[in-house]
Amino acid sequence: MEGFDVAVVGGGPAGSSAAREAAKTENVVVFEKGVRREDRDGIGADSTDAAGFLDYWFEVADFDPEFLEEMPVLREIDRAEFIGPTVRTSMRDTGIDSWYDGFGVTFDRVATDDLLRERAEERGAEYRIGGTVRGVETRRTTDGFVHELTVAGGENVRADYLVLADGPSRRVTLPTLAQFGDTGVKDALNPAEANHIAYQEHRRFPDELFEDDVLRFWWGAIPGETAYPWYFPNDGNVARVGVTVPRDVAVDDGDAYALLNDDETAKPSEYVHRLLENEYPEYGLDDFPLVENRGKDGGVESYPISSASPIESPTRAGVLVTGGAMGTTSAFHEGGYHLAVRTGKIAGRVIAEDRVTEYNDDWREAVGDEVSRNVGLSRLVSGYTPDDWDTIIGHAKAALEGGWLKRLRHVPAILLLQRRYSRLRSDYVAVHEEEYEPGSVPMATK
Ligand SMILES: Cc1cc2nc3c(=O)[nH]c(=O)nc-3n(C[C@H](O)[C@H](O)[C@H](O)COP(=O)(O)OP(=O)(O)OC[C@H]3O[C@@H](n4cnc5c(N)ncnc54)[C@H](O)[C@@H]3O)c2cc1C
């Protein structure tokens, strides 16, 4: 059987970033199952076009100004609008230091994923596109561990180190980690229990409605912990309008939510269409034609996404979990490209530098702040009703836009929220390395 130093499962931003760093010193293969999209020739990474970056995310991703010159930026963004049932406000400054001095950007996700792949290939990483990994069997050896990958549509391989970067579906990650004992991983990351569906449409907007410098998020419009619609401007007059919804929305008070007609749950597309109708009552859906040569299928795409806290990896077994697979995509606002890139880079780096067991410490040090911020926010708003959203956006509005008297009036409530949030973000790692039992896997027979 063919052998590699490092096998990477998944060729998205996490997998490609890991592959590039590891390939500095190691022999690396990347398996990518290969997803067909309207906006790419042939198959490649999933690349669900979910691509917005805030200023400080460049630093979190460890992208420097030189990389930004190559990055296919579509729009420079000045602000994000948070829209509650009756209150709305704009944020123009994240308040976090960064070398990038604007508010943020939207970028071409497919081209950026392909760029990261090219950069890994330039370093010598080998890509096997169309190679779906079906499973991994880990065995102990006299001097470490070996991982045997079963690949549909390709040759099986063996590797000394395994990087799991299969995104939030975690079809390979979960059974692979289950080899290391009965840990809390399944409860923490099981997509069947935690998953949301993100669905979006690429639509061309009428000139007078298209706004090219703002991201919009509607909160409290549909029930669910991280359920909300959004608007992201891309190139031309095309915006991505989408919605994240839990697979199962249990609702007793459907009337309270702008996008629910009654207590029924509709298809995600229905929510997007209702949003457009509500926001632009003078227009019909036909005034926003679908851009059929984008997305995964005729201008439309969906992607599973989990509401999760991240897990540490069983590094002593030579297994490093990265990006969406380890639960770093924000359960609050879906942001995660920056965290996928950074955790991937760190995984590749510790392998190249032969200090794999430092992976968990390194990623917590590099991105712990950002991840805990996201986990804390999602815990804070879990269970929020539309009224709660109005209240919290009202506080934010007073803080961001109000005069000193108004701000002063909101200070006690804001301090209370901040205290709660600090508590909620303190314990953000769902599974610690000590829970794994790598010694429990059988010895290799030869
Ligand atoms: C609607 C939405 C909006 C978002 N918006 C933003 C945003 O604005 N900004 C931001 O930073 N992030 C955003 N994100 C999050 C971002 O897309 C993810 O955090 C990021 O894609 C995670 O990268 P990853 O490499 O870990 O996983 P993925 O990008 O999912 O890549 C995993 C890869 O593994 C492959 N794969 C899976 N299983 C196998 C297998 N068995 N064998 C071989 N290959 C396999 C897949 O095909 C895929 O290419 C958004 C996500 C969604 C859904």
Please tell me what DSSP assigns to residue 293. Answer: T
pLDDT tens digits, 330-339: 777 777 999 9
Q: Is the CB of 233 under 6 A from ligand 1?
A: no
> What does the alpha-carbon distance between residue 283 and residue 411 come to, in Å, rounded to a whole number?
41
> Looking at per-residue confidence, does 407 or 357 come out higher?
357
User: In the block, which residue shows the tokens 């907007």?
Assistant: 205
CA proximity to 201, closest of 162, 148, 240: 240
Highest mean pLDDT among 52-61, 192-201, 243-252, 262-271: 52-61
CA proximity to 330, closest of 232, 225, 201: 225
Q: Is the CB of 10 under 6 A from ligand 1?
A: yes
Question: Could you tell me the distance, in angstroms and rounded to a whole number, from the CA of residue 119 to the centre of ligand 1?
Answer: 18
> Which top CATH class is 2-78+100-191+307-377+431-440?
alpha beta
Of the residues 31, 40, 46, which should be mutated to test ligand 1's pocket, given the most ligand atoms within 8 Å of the CB? 46
Domain residue limits, the chain:
2-78+100-191+307-377+431-440, 195-305, 383-424
Q: Is the CB of 46 under 6 A from ligand 1?
A: yes
Pick the residue whose CA is nearest to atom 41 on ligand 1: 133
pLDDT reading at 222 higher than 90: no
Please tell me what DSSP assigns to residue 71. Answer: S
Average pLDDT, integer, range 180-191: 83
Question: Could you tell me the distance, in angstroms and rounded to a whole number, from the CA of residue 339 to the centre of ligand 1?
Answer: 11
Q: Is the CB of 11 under 6 A from ligand 1?
A: yes
Pick the residue whose CA is nearest to atom 8 on ligand 1: 52
Distances (CA, A) of 361 to 139, 169, 307, 399: 25, 25, 23, 36
pLDDT reading at 193 higher than 60: no
Do 54 and 104 meet the contact criterion of CB atoms below 8 Å apart?
yes
Structure token digits, residue 122:
């330039």
pLDDT reading at 93 higher than 80: yes
Question: Could you tell me the distance, in angstroms and rounded to a whole number, from the CA of residue 207 to the centre of ligand 1?
Answer: 31
Confidence band, pLDDT 50/70/90 cuts, at residue 79? very high
Question: Could you tell me the distance, in angstroms and rounded to a whole number, from the CA of residue 414 to the centre of ligand 1?
Answer: 34
Helices (H), 123-259: 173-178, 185-189, 191-194
Q: Is the CB of 166 under 6 A from ligand 1?
A: yes
> What percent of the chain has a predicted confidence (pLDDT) above 90?
73
Q: H or E element: which one contains 128?
A: strand 126-129
CA proximity to 420, closest of 383, 368, 387, 390: 383
> What percent of the chain has a predicted confidence (pLDDT) above 70?
95
276-283's contacts with Cβ under 8 Å and 24+ in sequence apart are 276/203, 276/241, 280/209, 283/206, 283/209
pLDDT at residue 262 in the model: 65
Mean pLDDT of the chain: 91
Q: Is the CB of 45 under 6 A from ligand 1?
A: yes
Question: Could you tell me the distance, in angstroms and rounded to a whole number, from the CA of residue 73 to the centre of ligand 1?
Answer: 18
Angle, alpha carbons 37-39-40 (nearest 5°): 75
Highest mean pLDDT among 17-31, 146-160, 248-262, 392-406: 17-31
pLDDT at residue 243 in the model: 92
pLDDT tens digits, 391-446: 999 988 888 887 777 777 878 888 888 999 899 999 999 999 999 999 999 998 86
